[in-house]
Amino acid sequence: MPHPIVQEHAEIGLIGLGTMGRNLALNIAENGYRIAVFNRTAQRTDQFVAKAGDLAERLVPSRTIEEFVASIKPPRAIILMVPAGEAVDAQIQVLRPLLDPEDLIIDAGNANYHDTNRRAATALSGGPHFMGIGVSGGEQGARFGPSIMAGGDRSAFARVQPLLEAISAKFENVPCAAWLGEAGAGHLVKTVHNGIEYADMQMIAEVYGIMRDGLKLDNSAVADVFDGWNQGVLQSYLIEISAEVSRTRDPDTGRPMLDVILDRAGQKGTGRWTAIEALMLGTPAGTIEAAVGARGMSARLEERKAGEAVFGSAPRPIAQGLLGPEVLEPALLAGKILCYAQGFDLISAAARQYGWAMPVPEIARVWRAGCIIRSALLNDMASALEEQPGRNLILAPFFADTLRRSEDGLRKTVAMATLHGLPVPALSAALSYFDIMRTGRSTANIIQGQRDFFGAHGFERTDMPGDSFHGPWAIA
Ligand SMILES: NC(=O)C1=CN([C@@H]2O[C@H](COP(=O)(O)OP(=O)(O)OC[C@H]3O[C@@H](n4cnc5c(N)ncnc54)[C@H](OP(=O)(O)O)[C@@H]3O)[C@@H](O)[C@H]2O)C=CC1
Ligand SMILES: O=C(CO)[C@H](O)[C@H](O)COP(=O)(O)O
């Protein structure tokens, strides 16, 4: 359809000036691009431009969607930064009649990748082009350099690659932005990133619980422990902010922030999507599933209080000398490796299922800076995944060695916590994953026996080939 001539076109457009969108827009402007911006509530656009300082001259605000589309240079690229689900579909519906087939819509929110697959398939029949990209790093990351996980048509990505690389975080000057596969691949990777984020955070919370309720450390001592760990092998954004959160005081009451924050964790769905996907693809991701479950249980505040009234409070102090931060550190390290192994395995399973490229070492590289799960270990993970594609991370010599050295810490932590009523669902799921993954002869033989007994499902034998033997069970 014809568009009015605009004097100075924007090079890209962005819809949704919320927490992420407005920071991403400023980041794009700061990198020298003229960017058209539009928000459902026009007042927010006005406020945004008014506060943009010198960058305002690179912003092209619009009050109507038609004006917005017309202000972007064709072929247009438009980033959506709105909540996942209906809002994305609604925006696409509004945009489609205004766009040309060669234009490109980029959903940069946390979409369910099945939705992205559907939208990408619809785009194939007549355009505009569609891409789903995962963006991680929160508010700060969006403003100063997020990690960008792109999925969709590779030639469409090539059009926006220079911009995405320019605005992304850099690890040793390498942009943390890459094309990771077709259709919903980028959003699948972002979802698994968030699943790992849930597990990482839950394991830190479990160790915090051991320090607070088992070792009776106060908040500032806990902060010191996190700070110390952040200088070593656990160096990561999440450990760094855990130290800061533990040390900060409430300006209103002067009390430690951790003492005034209610123990009920929110969730927007990406952790749950990861767990669902792991189950759907038949990939073990017990640590992530346990973390999602623990978030759900955290919300059951009243039930937990009722349980405490009936059974008494679970946590009991751990006697001096039985467990300390020097044991918790390797426990977290082992838990982290095991949970990342599950995440990468899940991504590989999705790649096989959909026939997507999904270069797993590249995914680890994109996570090295900018994103919430960034950590020193990710560089080693990228190298290990590169060494032998398809191999489970725990079998890579570097991580096998690290696990051998940290296993004892994880086992001792889980055992001691369990004996003292300190819940460690994610750490114990990580340990179980490790133990199962190193058990050559498991106990599934009895499950096969049971299945055959009650349903004649058949089993394989250890002593001869064939896949459908039956036992001599008599039907009553
Ligand atoms: N916050 C974070 O740390 C991160 C968020 N994300 C993802 O980024 C996306 C945006 O999140 P965030 O910026 O935090 O969200 P906010 O709630 O801060 O902003 C949402 C934006 O979307 C607009 N919007 C909401 N509903 C609609 C709709 N139905 N139609 C059109 N516009 C709508 C809002 O407009 P209005 O002003 O009119 O309400 C607002 O501009 C989400 O998918 C989120 O999961 C990804 C990484 C990190
Ligand atoms: O994507 C993110 C970071 O990468 C968001 O911060 C994430 O949505 C937070 O998830 P939840 O609200 O479920 O804890």
Q: Provide mean pLDDT across the span 337-359.
A: 97
Distance 224 CA to ligand 2 centre (A): 26
Confidence band of 1 (pLDDT split at 50, 70, 90): very low
- Is 138's C-beta closer than 6 angstroms to any atom of ligand 2? yes
Cβ neighbours of residue 7 closer than 8 Å, sequence gap 6 or more: none
Phi, psi of 14 (to 5 degrees): -140, 130
pTM beyond 0.90: yes
pLDDT computed for residue 109 by the predictor: 97
Given the residues 190, 206, 277, 329, the one annotated as active site: 190
pLDDT exceeds 60 at position 404 = yes
Is the per-residue pLDDT at 8 higher than 90? Answer: no
More confident residue, 476 or 428: 428
Which of 261, 264, 284 shows the shortest CA–CA distance to 341?
284
Q: Which ligand number lies closest to the CA of residue 21?
A: 1
Ligand 1 binding pocket (C-beta < 6 A) is: 16-21, 39-41, 44, 81-84, 87, 90-91, 109-110, 135-136, 138, 268
Give residue 191 CA to ligand 2 midpoint distance, Å: 9
16 is in an annotated binding site: yes
Per-residue pLDDT tens over the stretch 274-289 = 999 999 999 999 999 9
Q: Which of 112-126, 178-192, 231-245, 423-437 has the lowest mean pLDDT?
A: 112-126
Index of the ligand 1 atom closest to the CA of residue 111? 43
d(CA 211, CA 262): 18
Distances (CA, A) of 118 to 89, 129, 131, 132: 11, 13, 11, 11
What does the pLDDT read at residue 127? 82
pLDDT beyond 60 at 268:
yes
User: What is the four-CA torsion angle of 334, 338, 192, 441, rounded to 10 degrees?
Assistant: -170
pLDDT value of position 7: 58
Kindly give the distance from the C-alpha atom of residue 19 to the centroid of ligand 1, in angstroms, as a whole number. 7
ipTM of this predicted structure: 0.98
| Sign, CA torsion 83/87/92/95 | negative
Half-sphere exposure of 315 (CA within 13 A, CB side): 15
**What are the residue ranges spanned by the domains of the chain?**
12-183, 190-437
**269 Cα–ligand 2 center, Å:** 8
Q: Is 295 annotated as a binding residue?
A: yes
Residue nearest to atom 26 of ligand 1 (CA): 87
Tell me the CA–centroid distance for residue 466 and ligand 2, in Å.
47
Task: For ligand 2, say whether the CB of 296 is within 6 Å of any of its atoms.
Answer: no
Domain 12-183 class, CATH top level = alpha beta
The pLDDT, as a whole number, for residue 476 is 57
Task: Look at residues 382, 380, 138 and name the one whose alpha carbon lies nearest to residue 241.
Answer: 138
3 pLDDT band (50/70/90 cuts)?
Answer: very low
Q: What is the DSSP string of 121-163?
A: HHHHTT--EEEEEEEESHHHHHHH--EEEEEE-HHHHHHHHHH
pLDDT at 455: 96
The answer to whether 20 is a known ligand-binding residue is yes
Please say whether the dihedral angle defined by the alpha carbons of residues 376, 380, 385 and 391, taken in this order, is positive or negative: negative
The tokens for 306 are: 């009722």
Give percent above pLDDT 70 in the chain.
98
Closest ligand 1 atom number to CA of residue 41: 38
Which pLDDT score, from 0 to 100, does residue 457 have?
A: 96
- 434-464 pLDDT, tens digit each: 999 999 999 999 999 999 999 999 999 999 9
Cis peptide upstream of residue 128 (ω within 30 degrees of 0)? yes
Among 182, 197, 277, 329, which one carries the catalytic annotation? 197
Catalytic site residue 336? no
Mean pLDDT, rounded, of the chain: 96
Ligand 1: atom nearest CA of 139 is 3
In testing the pocket of ligand 2, which one of 136, 197, 373 has its CB within 8 Å of the most ligand atoms? 197
Does residue 392 surpass a pLDDT of 80? yes
Q: Is 197 a catalytic residue?
A: yes
Q: Write out the DSSP string of 218-279.
A: -HHHHHHHHHHHTTTTT-BHHHHHHHHHHH-B-TTT-SBHHHHS-S-----SHHHHHHHHHH
Reply yes or no on whether the pLDDT at 4 is more than 60: no
CATH number for the segment(s) 190-437: 1.10.1040.10
Q: pLDDT for 108-160, tens place per residue?
A: 999 999 999 999 999 988 889 999 999 999 999 999 999 999 999 999 999 99
Q: Is the CB of 194 under 6 A from ligand 2?
A: yes
* Confidence check: pLDDT of 6 > 90: no
CA triple 377-272-343, angle to 5 deg = 30
Q: Which of 408, 406, 364, 402 is nearest to 386 (CA)?
A: 364
